Amino acid sequence: MKIAVCIKQVPSTSAPLQLDAGTRWLKEGETTFETNAADNHALEAALAIRDQLGGEVVVLTLGPERATEALREALAKGADRAIHLVSDQAPGLDPATVASLLASALAGEPWDLILCGLQSDDLGHGQTGAFLAEKLSLPQASIAAALEVTAEGQARVKRELEGGWYQWLELATPCLVTIQSGINKPRYAGMKGMLAAKKKPIVKQPVTEYPAGLTRQSIDELYYPHKAKQTRMLEGSPEAVATQLVAALNLRARP
Amino acid sequence: MERERLDAEAVIVGGGPAGLACALRLARLVAEHNAQGKTPGIDPEGIFVLEKAAELGMHSLSGAVMDPRALAELEPDYIAEGAPLESPVTEDHLYYLGATSSHRLPFMPAALRNEGNHIISLGRLVQWLGGRAEAAGVNVFPGTAAVDLLVEDGRVCGVITDDKGLDKTGEPQANFEPGYELRAKVTVCAEGARGSLSGQLIKHFHLDSDSNPQAYALGLKEVWEIPAGRVKAGTVWHSFGHPLSGTLQGGGWMYALSETRLSLGLVVGLHYADPAFQPHTALQRYKRHPLLAGLLEGGSLLRYGAKTLAKGGYWALPRLSAPGALLVGDAAGFLDAMRLKGVHMAIKSGMLAAEAAYAALCAADEAGTDQALAGYRQSFEASWMKTDLWRGRNYHQAFQHGTARGLAASLVQGFRGRQGNRPAHAYLRPGTAAPAAFGPDGKLTQDRLTSVYHSGTGHREDQPVHLKVVNADQCQQCHGEFGSPCQHFCPAGVYEWEAADGGPGRLRINAANCLHCKTCDIMDPYQNIAWTPPEGGGGPQYEGM
Amino acid sequence: MSGGILVIVESVAEGISRASLEAIAYAQGLGGPVKVILPGAANQTQADALAALAVDEVLLADYSYPEGAGAGGYDGDGYVAVLAEAVRRLAPDQVFLAHSYGARDFAPRLAARLDLTLVSDCIGQEGEGDAVAFLRQMFLGRAQAKVKVAGEGPRLVSLQAGVARLEDLRRGSTPAPVSRTSLAMPAAPRVAAQAPLREGERSVDLSQARIIVAVGRGIKTQENIALAKKLADLLGAELAASRAVCDEGWLPIERQVGSSGQTVAPALYIALGISGAVQHLVGMKTSETIVAINKDASAPIFKVADYGIVGDLFQVVPALIAALEAA
By Cβ distance, the residue of A30, A44, A186 closest to B302 is A30
Confidence at residue B108, expressed as pLDDT on a 0 to 100 scale: 87
**Section A8-30 average pLDDT:** 89
Once rounded to an integer, what is the mean pLDDT over residues A207-230? Answer: 83
- Compute the distance between CA of residue C312 and CA of residue C219 in angstroms, rounded to an integer: 10
pLDDT digits (tens, 9 = 90+) for C39-88: 999 999 999 999 999 999 999 999 999 887 766 678 999 999 999 999 99
Structure confidence by residue, pLDDT tens digits, A95-119: 999 999 999 999 989 999 999 999 9
Chain B / chain C CB contacts < 8 angstroms: 27
The percentage of chain C sitting over the pLDDT mark of 90, rounded to a whole number, equals 66
Query: How many other C-beta atoms lie within 10 A of the C-beta of residue B102?
Result: 17
Per-residue pLDDT, C263: 81
Q: Which helix (H) or strand (E) holds A196?
A: helix A191-197
- With contact defined as beta carbons under 8 Å apart, do C275 and C216 qualify? yes
| d(CA C236, nearest CA chain B) in Å | 29
Instruction: State how far residue C120 is from chain A, nearest Cα, in angstroms.
Output: 6
Give the strand pairing for C94-98 and A2-7: unpaired
pLDDT at A214: 66
The chain C residue lying nearest A99, using CA atoms, is C112
Give the model confidence (pLDDT) of C180-191 as tens digits.
999 999 999 999
Residue contact C324–A141, C-beta within 8 A: no
Could you tell me the sign of the dihedral formed by the alpha carbons of B361, B366, B371, B377, in that order?
positive
Burial of C171 (0-12, 13-18, 19+ CB in 10 A): exposed
Residue predicted with more confidence, B4 or C205:
B4
Phi, psi of B35 (to 5 degrees): -65, -35
> What band does C203 get if pLDDT is binned at 50, 70 and 90?
low
List chains adjacent to chain C, taking adjacency as at least 3 C-beta pairs closer than 8 Å: A, B
Amino acid A161: pLDDT: 85
Candidates A233, A235, A252: best to mutate against C (most CBs of C within 10 A) is A233
Residues of chain A positioned with their CB less than 8 A from the CB of C145: 24, 219-223
- φ and ψ at residue C315, rounded to 5 degrees: -100, -40
* C residues 188..227 contacting A (CB < 8 A): 190-199, 202-203, 205, 208
Examine the pLDDT at C1 and tell me if it is beyond 60.
Answer: no
> What pLDDT digit, counting tens, does each position of B277-294 carry?
999 999 999 999 999 999
The kind and range of the H/E element at B181 are strand B181-189
Find the largest Cα–Cα distance for chain A: 72
> Cα–Cα distances in Å, from B529 out to A111, A224, B367?
54, 40, 38
User: Is a pLDDT exceeding 80 seen at residue C14?
Assistant: no
Residues 227-246 of C with CB under 8 A from A: 233-236
Q: Which helix (H) or strand (E) holds B524?
A: none
Yes or no: say if B211 and B226 are a contact pair by the CB < 8 Å rule: no
* CA of A250 vs chain B CAs: smallest distance (Å): 34
Please count the other Cβ atoms lying within 10 Å of the Cβ belonging to residue C41: 17
**A interface with B, Cβ–Cβ below 8 Å:** 12, 14-16, 18, 29-32, 34, 44, 69, 184-192, 194-195, 198
CB contact under 8 A, B544 and A186: no
- Contact criterion met (CB < 8 Å) for A187 and B180: no
Do the Cβ atoms of C253 and B510 come within 8 Å?
Answer: no
* DSSP letter string, B109-136: -GGG--TT-EEE-HHHHHHHHHHHHHHT
B209: distance to nearest CA of chain A, Å? 36
Distance from CA of A71 to the nearest CA of C (A): 21
Q: Residue A4 and residue A27: Cα distance in Å, rounded?
A: 31
Residue B400's identity, in one-letter code, is Q
User: Is the predicted pLDDT of residue C199 greater than 80, yes or no?
Assistant: no
Q: Does position C202 have pLDDT exceeding 60, yes or no?
A: no
Q: Is the peptide bond before B40 cis (omega within 30 degrees of 0)?
A: yes
Q: Kindly determine whether residue B454 and residue A15, on different chains, have CB atoms separated by under 8 Å.
A: yes
Write out the DSSP string of B317-344: PPPSEETTEEE-HHHHT--BTTTTB-HH
Spatial separation of the C-alpha atoms in residues C34 and A65, rounded to whole Å: 46
* Chains touching A (3+ CB pairs < 8 Å): B, C
pLDDT for the residue C13 = 77
Crossing angle for the helix pair B122-135 and B17-35, to the nearest 10 degrees: 20
**Window 118-177 of A, Cβ < 8 Å to C:** 118-119, 121-131, 133-135, 139-143, 145, 159-172
Share of chain C above pLDDT 70, in %: 97
**Contacting residues of A for B163, CB less than 8 Å apart:** none
Q: What is the pLDDT of residue B187?
A: 98
How high is the pLDDT of residue C74? 85
Distance CA B5, CA C86 (A): 63
Quick: pLDDT tens for C258-284: 877 888 889 999 999 999 888 898 889
> Which chain C residue has its CA at the smallest distance from A173's CA?
C190
Which 8-state DSSP code applies to residue B147?
E
Report CB contact under 8 Å: A238, C289: no
pLDDT band at C140 (very low <50, low <70, confident <90, very high): confident
- pLDDT score of A212: 72
**Inter-chain CB proximity B512 and C249 less than 8 Å:** no
Nearest to B449 among C247, C249, C278 (CB): C278
Interface of B to A at Cβ within 8 Å reads 4, 6, 54-55, 58, 139, 141, 143-144, 161, 164-165, 173-175, 177, 180, 182, 302-303, 453-458, 541, 543-544
Please, what is the Cα angle at B66 between B60 and B69, to 5 degrees? 120
Q: Which residues pair with C239 in a beta bridge?
A: C213
In angstroms, the separation between the Cα of residue B449 and the nearest Cα of chain C is 6
Q: CA–CA separation, B248 vs B284, rounded Å?
A: 16
C-alpha C210/C-alpha B176 separation (Å) is: 37
C246 and B461: CB-CB below 8 Å? yes
In chain B, which stretches have pLDDT less than 70? Answer: none
